[in-house]
Structure 1
């Protein structure tokens, strides 16, 4: 598979993320695809249900709580069936202020050209801080924050089936 096709598939994922359209994932993900957030292990726990939820539930909670307002590809390196991408973005936790954010992703594609594996390196601590800031503000105004699950871990499947 050529560089442009790989980058188009990655862009399809991010457009789906940006638009809250998880159905876009099915066209580019292998059924047994996995994704891993690398960083502060409490990132997934910051979403009610944490690791106990399946990938669709985690993705839905991510989409519900964090908007991706802007996304710009800074650089990409493609070699064989792998791609490395660096994005700058502007995110906003619902009820919070926009903030700049950077992501570095490593992607692997299967023989059918579908994404089989992804790892994302990002400032998870910043996102957790933003989630906590909004939660504290809501709590101060009478909307209590849901308790986080005390489950660790960062890996989850994101299969399209």
Structure 2
């Protein structure tokens, strides 16, 4: 496997989802704050067998860039770009972690488009380090047999 395919295979084990975790009232209105929860999943197997590499990610961080429609808040203040750490710093296979990001709604899309689409509130970049010590740890399981006399 070449290095690029290896990198893509490792990267494909990460899955990022998001959903609205908090809003004031029934809808997000211009000027109000709302919270988006980002959930990061490590879809790699738990690697319980001795022949499987353990894919564990560390130093999990999400960089959030605001848009014309919403601005991320850091310590309650609007910022253009902010980086947030996930609640867990260590993400083994078959597990997930989250981070909540607060935003302020800046403007509405308006017009017919507003009826057909949602506003793009952020562009995010996910970064995580592969725990190389875990990945390259060699394991071997073997049964041991000895004659036991009565």
Rg (Cα) greater in structure: 2
Which structure dedicates a bigger proportion of its chain to strand?
2
The TM-score, its normalising length taken from structure 1, stands at 0.29
**Which structure's relative contact order is higher, taking Cα pairs within 8 Å and 6+ residues apart?**
1
Which structure dedicates a bigger proportion of its chain to helix?
1
The TM-score, its normalising length taken from structure 2, stands at 0.31
